[in-house]
A and B are shown apart, each in its own frame.
Chain A
Amino acid sequence: MIPEQKELKPNTNSPLIKIKRKLIEFAVPLLFLVLCIIGAYYARLQPSFLINEIIMRMARNPVLVLALIIPVLAGMGMNFAIVLGAMAGQIGLIIITHYEVTGITGVTVAALIAVPFAIVFGYLTGKLLNRAKGKEMITSMIFGFFAVYVWQLFFLVFVGSIIPMRNEKMILSTGVGVRNTVDLVGIRYALDDIIKIRDLPGITIPISTLIVVALFCILITFFMKTKLGQDIRAVGQNMEIAAISGINVDKIRITAIIISTVLAAWGQIIWLQNIGTLNTYGSHVQVGLFAVAALLIGGASVAKANIWQVLLGTFLFHTLFIISPTAGRNLLGDAQIGEFFRVFVAYGVIAVALVLHAWQKHSAAKNK
């Protein structure tokens, strides 16, 4: 390690510089806010429809994005491998659907079943990422892809042949493999419906789910203030120094990934209880990608993230999701173009964020 040779920063209290700083800090969210406003204008959606959609998504999506925060703070970048967490959640859902456990009991049981799976998956991911220090993001991404196909092998070939499963509604007609879609009718809206406000025309507010989201936010904030949270931050800032101070770096990193994976499992369950059907081979595939895009749009970087960026990012990204097909159709005569646009945005944001981060790191190293 080279000692830092920084001098005291020049006077930064000038209001103009402060404003400029803030603008740079919020450049990404601001850009997307502008995009959302333009899109909303051209989409000409009914306000109540738009608001309803946004509220629904703000209830069902943030937990998946929250799952990314802890690995970022642990210095491991965006954990694309939350795909495995989503799978753990889906395993829980498939099991409860098979045994026909319904309602909020079903959701709770699924969440509990998912935990051991998520812990095992998280442990494996963490072990792997410890062997790929400095390249965690690409490793987690490829590991996620790999897991998708292991999942296919398992549920398409092993279930019904090696692992007995007799629920005819779920198994393909050949008797081997889970059907492409599993109807989650038994638990649909199970969490949302506990407390729901329908006072306004066209708008329903799933208060209970929002409370769960808020609880998770508080939990993570609290967690980062604990000893373990402090260790995670220390490891995230500098592994070497943390190790010299007696922190077990590898263990902390694995713990961070396990927490992330468990949160992702729960996030996926919350998401799917709202959607109502499980696309057995598709629901989890893009979970990592969309969560990462949302967090980056919220203004986070691969080295820094907080709760507010999660919420802001989810809001902006999903607003764009809602409006872009109609805006595309109204502007260019084809809804497909809007659809292209939002996928383009998801990938584009990730690419730009990664390049920016690499560039910042490079120039920081140069300035030393």
Chain B
Amino acid sequence: MESTSLLKLDKICKSYYGNRVLKDVCLEIKKGEIHGLVGENGAGKSTLMNILFGMPVIQQTGGYEGDVVLEGNQVCFTCPSEAMDYGIGMVHQEFMLIPGFTVAENIKLNRERTKPNVISRLIGKKMETIDVQRNRHDARASLDRLGMSFDEMMPVGGLPVGYMQFIEVAREIDKENTKVVVFDEPTAVLTESEAEQFLDTARKLANDGLGVLFISHRLDEVVSLCDRITVLRDGEVVALLNRGEASIQRIAELMVGRQINRLADRKKTVQVNKPILEIRNLAVEMPGEKVKEFDLDLYEGEILGVGGLAGHGKIGIANGIMGMYPATGSLVKQGKSLPLGDTMLMLQENMAFVSEDRRGVGLLWDESIEHNIIIAAMQSQKKFLKRVTPLLTIEDRKKIHEHTLKMIKDLDIRCVGPQQLVKRLSGGNQQKICIARAITLSPDILFVSEPTRGIDIGAKRIVLDLLLQLNRDLGVTIVMTSSELAELRSVCDRIAIIYEGRLEGVLPPDAPDLDFGLMMAGEFEHKGADQV
């Protein structure tokens, strides 16, 4: 292997609104090297990539510190096309392909070969004719280089998902000056054999002298493919492993390892023999968060954590049960079988949901605090209504007001008054409103998804305390879904880890880091769901 440094990220620091997300991150890619980058969600991988690609969000939030050095020259990209001009290619996690265009058109998108004509000579380059044959030829050459045989003139829309990834790669290597290619979770949507083929492709590219940065959650692939592996945790590089030093266990441990501050200091009083909710064969069609065949028993009075990596379906579970997305399977609550897909019924059955999508689903953005808190209870349980005449019911202003004031006081919602619009509140306070609405339903099961997403550290603590308090004082059974494992481990009694839409296993919060890491990577031997 040659040892010339191709791309070097040196002491990169970045903070969003005073929140430090990257700290002194160093990463070097050599010529012909495949470099792995692993880390949990929120470890700072995306931010690092955003810096590398000059995504506008970086500049908008105050830029970054540290140096990006490409072939010995210091560079600072302010927009993605600049990064592309310098030879940095990106294969996106979501396909950036136009379905109505042919494979060739997609590969040559905005880099089409053109030939001049009469009009272009008068008006300018924009009027040059597209040279279909040469574009086709170029596309073919790139596909051949990848060992792909499918027709370059087919529209992308009808192709199997597996091909699309290769088209993306073909596009990057078609760029003449590509020096570094970044693969962001390239194998997530591929079948095993496709993934195998894909890894071969990556090796081929590295042999051709490109630098490859490989970001993946599939640790087995990272271990077998990469020459060196950088492990990120909480915005810091915790290890740089060479081939041979790295094993799945080692990486898993490094990724997760951190001190856990246990917030819940109580002794367990959960009755394991008394399930309050039995979930069987749950499948949810939530785009990007599909759940397939999920089985779990929820015990009365517990706080169950649901964890796993993004895209593996943890978000889909609560959404499916509450009828936000089409779901199939069976659901038995306290011996009573419930049909899936009826949100109103679920609310009436005393199950409440705090959505992860606070802005879209969670809150009535342009409405008052008051309305946001009472709306669900009013709709589903006819609370806060008074009958004026037999045919006319109106809202009970006095009761609403009293209840809202109580909630504001109890949950310590910082606001000007019950009439303030929720969009004017901070993220933490908005989250409290969501929880207040759920409490108003007086549920016995509360689903909370990503309760601390997008709120600052102080508020996070308050929200978590609030959930604990609910559980302790009101006996509410809580199912908390979160991308932050540390958070789950600090409050939950049991933590279920989801991998590829299925339950990978259930762990106690004090289980070793290694187990969590392995489970999230799907490498844990399938232990029974009820073993804990």
Residues of chain A having any CB pair with chain B under 8 Å: 1-9, 222-223, 225-231, 233-234, 237-238, 240-242, 244-247, 368
Query: In the complex, are the beta carbons of B114 and A244 less than 8 A apart?
Result: no
Contact A3 to B130, CB < 8 A, known contacts A230-B112, A244-B80: no
Query: In the complex, are the beta carbons of B96 and A244 less than 8 A apart?
Result: yes
Contact A1 to B158, CB < 8 A, known contacts A237-B100, A245-B109: no
Q: Within the assembled complex, what's the spacing in Å between the Cα atoms of A9 and B158?
A: 7
CB-based closest 7 A-B pairs: A246-B81, A245-B110, A228-B126, A2-B287, A237-B98, A245-B109, A237-B100
A8 partner residues in chain B, CB cutoff 8 A? 158-160
Choose among A1, A6, A225 the residue that contacts B94 (Cβ–Cβ < 8 A). Answer: A1
Interface bits B228-266 vs A (CB < 8 Å: 1, else 0): 000000000000000000000000000000000000000
Taking the complex as formed, is B417 at the interface, i.e. its CB lies under 8 A from any CB of chain A? no
B160 partner residues in chain A, CB cutoff 8 A? 6-8
Contact A6 to B98, CB < 8 A, known contacts A227-B112, A228-B126, A245-B109: no
Nearest CB in chain A: distance from B378 CB, A: 30
Query: In the complex, are the beta carbons of B101 and A368 less than 8 A apart?
Result: no
Query: In the complex, are the beta carbons of B98 and A227 less than 8 A apart?
Result: no
B112 partner residues in chain A, CB cutoff 8 A? 227, 230
Nearest CB in chain A: distance from B254 CB, A: 30
Nearest CB in chain A: distance from B497 CB, A: 24
> How extensive is the interface on chain B, given as a class?
20 to 34
Choose among B81, B99, B127, B288 the residue that contacts A227 (Cβ–Cβ < 8 A). Answer: B127
Taking the complex as formed, is B276 at the interface, i.e. its CB lies under 8 A from any CB of chain A? no
Choose among B84, B98, B129 the residue that contacts A246 (Cβ–Cβ < 8 A). Answer: B84
Query: In the complex, are the beta carbons of A3 and B126 less than 8 A apart?
Result: no
Query: In the complex, are the beta carbons of A368 and B287 less than 8 A apart?
Result: yes
7 examples of A-B residue contacts, CB within 8 angstroms: A4-B164, A6-B159, A9-B158, A226-B114, A226-B128, A226-B129, A237-B101
Q: Within the assembled complex, what's the spacing in Å between the Cα atoms of A4 and B160?
A: 9
Q: Within the assembled complex, what's the spacing in Å between the Cα atoms of A1 and B164?
A: 14
Choose among B81, B109, B114 the residue that contacts A234 (Cβ–Cβ < 8 A). Answer: B109
Contact A237 to B80, CB < 8 A, known contacts A2-B94, A2-B288, A3-B94: no
Taking the complex as formed, is B161 at the interface, i.e. its CB lies under 8 A from any CB of chain A? yes
B84 partner residues in chain A, CB cutoff 8 A? 246
Query: In the complex, are the beta carbons of B127 and A228 less than 8 A apart?
Result: yes
Query: In the complex, are the beta carbons of A4 and B129 less than 8 A apart?
Result: no
Contact A241 to B97, CB < 8 A, known contacts A2-B287, A3-B164: yes
Query: In the complex, are the beta carbons of A231 and B127 less than 8 A apart?
Result: no
Query: In the complex, are the beta carbons of B110 and A242 less than 8 A apart?
Result: yes
B86 partner residues in chain A, CB cutoff 8 A? none
Query: In the complex, are the beta carbons of B130 and A230 less than 8 A apart?
Result: yes
Q: Within the assembled complex, what's the spacing in Å between the Cα atoms of A297 and B74?
A: 59
Nearest CB in chain A: distance from B111 CB, A: 8
Taking the complex as formed, is B145 at the interface, i.e. its CB lies under 8 A from any CB of chain A? no
Taking the complex as formed, is B189 at the interface, i.e. its CB lies under 8 A from any CB of chain A? yes
Q: Within the assembled complex, what's the spacing in Å between the Cα atoms of A230 and B96?
A: 17
| Smallest CB gap from A224: residue in B | B130
Q: Within the assembled complex, what's the spacing in Å between the Cα atoms of A7 and B189?
A: 13
Question: By CB atoms of chain A within 10 A, which of B110, B127, B129, B288 has the most?
Answer: B110
Nearest CB in chain A: distance from B127 CB, A: 5
Choose among B80, B99, B130, B288 the residue that contacts A4 (Cβ–Cβ < 8 A). Answer: B99
Query: In the complex, are the beta carbons of B158 and A234 less than 8 A apart?
Result: no
Interface bits B65-108 vs A (CB < 8 Å: 1, else 0): 00000000000000011001000000010111111110001000
Choose among A4, A9, A234, A240 the residue that contacts B110 (Cβ–Cβ < 8 A). Answer: A234
